[in-house]
Amino acid sequence: MDASGRRNQKNYRSLLQSLSRPGRVVRLADLAGVPPLSAAMAIAECLLDSEVGFCVDDSSCAHGLQRAIAEATGARTECLEAADFVFFSEGDSRGGVRRAKRGRSEFPEEGATLVYCLESPPADVSDRFRVRLTGPGIPGPSGIAPEMPGIPVQEFQDLMIVNADYPLGVDAFFVRPNGEVMGLPRSTRIRVR
């Protein structure tokens, strides 16, 4: 198996682990490309190719993530509403999550996959305790607080609204430059204090 195949296989196992156990932090084994977006690139190389459409929602075009992903994977560039994969390169969708596609009732799996590219964690990490997650993959009826700090609470509130009509919805990965990943599928029930 060649190096990129190996990397994709290992990273995929981490991604599958993180989506099957929502709210937990898992680490990508093998990053790709140049920091700080090497974790996002690792996910892109693992999952994207010419058969899917993607969008990088990025207000300052300084990142170049869009071009890097297109060149590395051959994925089609789409608008946010039509994309299969949406990268929020500034870690905050600023309401963009509400525009991502949520699937059709007979094809809920068409809902988009979101990748939030977070910076290094902020000093104050207490916000995450306002959020409670329950559902498939999370043991116990009282659930857990998301293990990854620094995600704006508004994002959880938006996801709660977007995924209210389960099984329609979106599925999200939150990723840090050091390769930490937290998955949040649409099946997770979110409560915010």
Partner 1 sequence: MTPGLPSRAGTPPADWRDTRPPAGGRYSYAFLDEGAKREIRRRILKAAAIPGCQVPFGSREMPIARGWGTGGLQLTLSLIGPEDVLKVIDQGADDSVNAVNIKKFVTRVTGVAVTTDTAAATMIQTRHRIPEEPLQPHQILIFQVPIPEPLRLVEPSERETRRMHAEADYSRMWLYLYEDIVKFNEITVGARYPVLVNCRHLMDPSPIPRWDLAKLHQGEALFLFCAGREKRIYAVPPHTEVQPLSFEDFAFRVEAFAGRRCARCGSGGTYLDEVIDDATGRRTYACSDTAFCEKARRSCGAAEDPPTREGIA
Q: Does 109 sit near partner 1 (CB under 8 A)?
A: yes
Within the chain, what is the greatest distance between any pair of CA atoms?
A: 48
Residue 124 burial (C-beta neighbours within 10 Å; 0-12, 13-18, 19+): exposed
Q: Does 13 sit near partner 1 (CB under 8 A)?
A: yes
Site string for partner 1, 159-188 (x = CB under 8 A): -------xx---x-------------xxx-
Alpha-helical regions (H) of the chain: 3-20, 38-47, 65-73, 153-162
Q: Which residue, 27, 22, 25, is CA-closest to 137?
A: 22
Tokens of 172: 């999200």
Tokens of 3: 């190096």
Q: Report the distance separating Cα 93 and Cα 58, nearest Å.
A: 9
Q: Which is nearer to partner 1, 89 or 163 (CB)?
A: 163
| 8 A C-beta contact, residue 166 and residue 176 | no
Q: Which is nearer to partner 1, 120 or 141 (CB)?
A: 141
Site string for partner 1, 45-64 (x = CB under 8 A): -xxxxxxxx-----------
List 15, 39, 44, 55, residue binding partner 1 (CB under 8 A): 15
| 8 A C-beta contact, residue 11 and residue 42 | yes
Q: Which is nearer to partner 1, 2 or 124 (CB)?
A: 2
Q: Report the distance separating Cα 86 and Cα 129, nearest Å.
A: 26
Q: Which is nearer to partner 1, 99 or 189 (CB)?
A: 189
Min. distance of Cβ 12 from partner 1 in angstroms? 5
Residues 69 to 108: which contact partner 1 by CB under 8 A?
Answer: 70-74, 76, 105-108
Site string for partner 1, 110-149 (x = CB under 8 A): xx-x---------------------xxxxxx---------
Binding site for partner 1 (CB under 8 A): 1-2, 5-6, 8-10, 12-13, 15-16, 19-21, 46-53, 70-74, 76, 105-111, 113, 135-140, 166-167, 171, 185-187
